[in-house]
Structure 1
Amino acid sequence: MSPVRRLLVRALPLLLSALLAGCGAPAVRDAAEQDVREAVAAWSRTPPAQLAGIPLEGWAYEVSAVRRDGAQATARAELHYRLTGYDFAPAGSAREVRLSRDDGGRWRVTGDRAAPGAPPQLWDQGPVEVVRGAHALVLGVGQSAQTLSAIGAEADRAVPAASAAWPGPWAGRVVVLVPGSLERMAQLLGRPAAEYRGMGAVTTGRAGAAAAPADRVVVNPEGWAELSAAGRGVVLTHEVTHVATRAATTAKTPLWLSEGFADWAAYRTGTTTPQQAAPALTRAVRRGELPAALPADEAFAFGADPEALARAYEGAWLACRLIAAKWGDDALVRLYERAGRKPLATALEETIGGDPPGLTLAWQASLRQDLGGA
């Protein structure tokens, strides 16, 4: 064998080891980093004592990165947990866990918080009070027991109302978060507070998710306080309906249909007239400003002009009300189901035998009649 061939043969094992190390072999962690990871794992086996009243399961921190600075360390981790009886899949939260090393060389967790850029959890804002109802779990911070109980009772009424409007499968229960202020609400949602000013509540969740672990109704305590008793019922039923219809809602679903359906569910058994529930649109129609088309998705953007936003919601509700009145409640439900999977024109043809222009004309005629603009 030539000297060159002998050199290649001897070098081959080393070459293969180098290639494997660069092609997916796990990086070797130093002992200190491994100790940090083990300390986080040991600390996170059970939820903190201050969360004892919250029905939690599957509580675990999955560490993705560790940064050490002498006797201090920070671990970037993803918190996974379920609310027992309410979540079908783990909810997630990006966290930053802080640790320090004691004189004996052991790493101990000194605290954790939301990771930079990630929204906090409700318990990051203070001690959490828990109210359990027949259909709802209410978690609040900085609120009186009376307020949380009243919200829980309203949610317990909203769940059956949403189920009556939406016969499709859903959990039939809801989680309601009640932070201490509008600013705290905005922190939980990771958005500017101005976007939620004047709103009573919003719903979080991912469209089209059959198992939506983080689907929560979040109450704006300042907007809630300004609502009448009837208004609170409408707001919570609207938001709970979003939870109920979540699995059928996709990016294809027009916002006028999803928002209008939620309002239709909230108003369907009441005696509120169109003029009472749609004052902004009533004023516009009486000024001769009849909408030229059903509300576009952009019309529902948070932070938009309040009067224009109100007209969009009111018009969406009246469109769904018209469909239910003219073609039946079942037709409206079937339209919702199909509009999430097919083009709107196809869904309309299959459910009411019409098309978008025809629906628009019928809707405009109903606005003139119902809002006094004839």
Structure 2
Amino acid sequence: MLWLTVLLLVPVWGCTAPAKAPDSAAGAIGRTLDRRAAAVLDRDERAYLAVLDPAATALRATGRREFRNLAEVPLDSWTYRLTDVERSGDRATVHAELRYGLTGYDRAPVSAPRTLELTERAGRWYVTADRPGDGGAQQLWEQGAVRAVRGARSLVLGAGQDDALLRAIAATADRAVPAVDDAWPRPWAGRAVLLVPGSLEAMARLLGASAAGYRGIAAVTTAITAGDGAAGTAPADRVVVNPEAYGALSGFGREIVLAHEITHVATRTATSAATPTWLSEGFADRVAYRGTDRTAGEIAPELQRAVRAGDAPAALPADEDFAFGAGADRLARAYESGWLACELIAERWGERRLTDFYRAVGAHAGREGAVEKALHDVLATTPEDFTARWRAYARQRLG
């Protein structure tokens, strides 16, 4: 999230040509996309369709649907930045960044790569195709009409879902945000954007991934790239809900899932490649369960079984232990082990030291030495001592 960027207060539109355009076509193509961007913000369907190739019947039908699908999305900016133009006669393939911002939620526009194809007719360029670019994913409005539900501290955007579910998710998110605020006393937006697609498969398309990797996962938080592409400065993450797995949860389970994911939103700018997964996931779980009446055994049943069987882990989990393909038991123990490590820090050193430790690890230049240095600087201990304390704490809380 881009916490230091000023919130956009007025709509903006436009298209920035690349520094080195292949030829004069780049300027004309840029003007075409300028008109498209302005049409989106003006909610002008006729102008939006006017930049599409008159001969592209299927594209125009799709474009009309997608334009109408955007009707409830609260946009305050929509622009295209050309990154490459490949022209061959009267045809061109354009690689661009679509940058858009949600009113009141994005402190700077988020960025999504797009690949567009255009054709020239009588001196004007028209769009003939528009699809996600390399490394990009489908957008929610490409999946159907988007319904927007505004909570007190959340915005829920759904496609293919009924209003009752969207309102319930907004209410749950609204309860989670203050809890996250209390546990993470650092600047963050204090609000969340949640996307609710119509199915697991639709969720996977939003993430640009295989559905198999998210089966049974109730929600994930995506790190949205800032418009300037600066690392660690995403203006707003999105919590993407898997309606199938989320729908199977109890009310309490839904509260835990959204509090966990919103914690990831709050801590994003303090999380980096130096942060081990046990810390990021363990901290998020600790915030989610903090203040509930669940016992350690109820929160960490798989780890408790291992401890009582004399098979307690010898070390904190590695990143690969959190892989979805690692197996359900191994994955559960990894999450539970991370939670218990954060519990230990909060109980032994205090809540403030836990957040200081989290920030110190994430601020390190790289993974190597990050935890060791933060253990020394913040907790005045060593990896060996901390691991021994953690194992003893597991026997104490779970034995």
The TM-score normalised by the length of structure 1 is 0.85
Letter in 2 for 1:38: R
Letter in 2 for 1:65: V
Map of 2:376 onto structure 1: 349
CA distance in 2, matches of 1:237, 1:294: 23
Map of 1:87 onto structure 2: 106
CA distance in 1, matches of 2:35, 2:323: 44
Distance 1:27 1:253, change over 3 A: closer
Map of 1:184 onto structure 2: 202
Letter in 1 for 2:377: E
Cα displacement (A) at 1:74 = 4.8
The 5 Å alignment of 1:30-109 reads 35-47=28-40, 48-63=67-82, 64-67=84-87, 74-99=93-118, 106-109=124-127
Distance 1:129 1:76, change over 3 A: same
Q: Which runs of 5+ in 1 are unaligned?
A: 1-23
Map of 2:130 onto structure 1: 112
CA distance in 2, matches of 1:288, 1:327: 27
CA distance in 2, matches of 1:219, 1:97: 29
Q: CA RMSD for the aligned pairs? A: 2.4
Q: Which runs of 5+ in 2 are unaligned?
A: 1-18, 41-66, 365-369
Structure index of larger Rg = 1
CA distance in 1, matches of 2:20, 2:200: 48
Equivalent of 2:281 in 259, 262, 272: 259
Residue 308 in 1 paired to residue 330 in 2?
yes
Residue 243 in 1 paired to residue 265 in 2?
yes
The 5 Å alignment of 1:269-280 reads 269-280=291-302
Residue 122 in 1 paired to residue 140 in 2?
yes
CA distance in 2, matches of 1:67, 1:25: 13
| Residues 320, 326 of structure 2: 8 Å contact kept | no
Map of 2:235 onto structure 1: 213
Aligned with 1:303: secondary structure?
Answer: helix
Distance 1:184 1:168, change over 3 A: same
| Residues 82, 213 of structure 1: 8 Å contact kept | no
Cα displacement (A) at 1:168 = 0.9
The 5 Å alignment of 1:198-237 reads 198-205=216-223, 211-237=233-259
CA distance in 2, matches of 1:129, 1:278: 37
CA distance in 2, matches of 1:170, 1:210: 13
Equivalent of 2:156 in 119, 126, 138: 138
Distance 1:100 1:317, change over 3 A: same
- State the identity %: 52
Aligned with 1:131: secondary structure?
Answer: strand
1:303-331 CA distance string (max 9 Å, x none): 32121011000010011111111221111
Aligned with 2:341: secondary structure?
Answer: helix
Map of 1:370 onto structure 2: 397
1:284-320 CA distance string (max 9 Å, x none): 2222111000111221123321210110000100111
CA distance in 2, matches of 1:255, 1:115: 29
CA distance in 2, matches of 1:107, 1:206: 30
The TM-score normalised by the length of structure 2 is 0.80
Distance 1:39 1:302, change over 3 A: same
Higher mean alpha-carbon deviation, 185-194 vs 126-135, is at: 185-194
| Residues 89, 211 of structure 1: 8 Å contact kept | no
Residue 28 in 1 paired to residue 23 in 2?
yes
1:152-178 CA distance string (max 9 Å, x none): 111111111111100011110111011
> Where has structure 1 moved over 6 Å in runs of 4 or more?
none
Distance 1:181 1:49, change over 3 A: closer
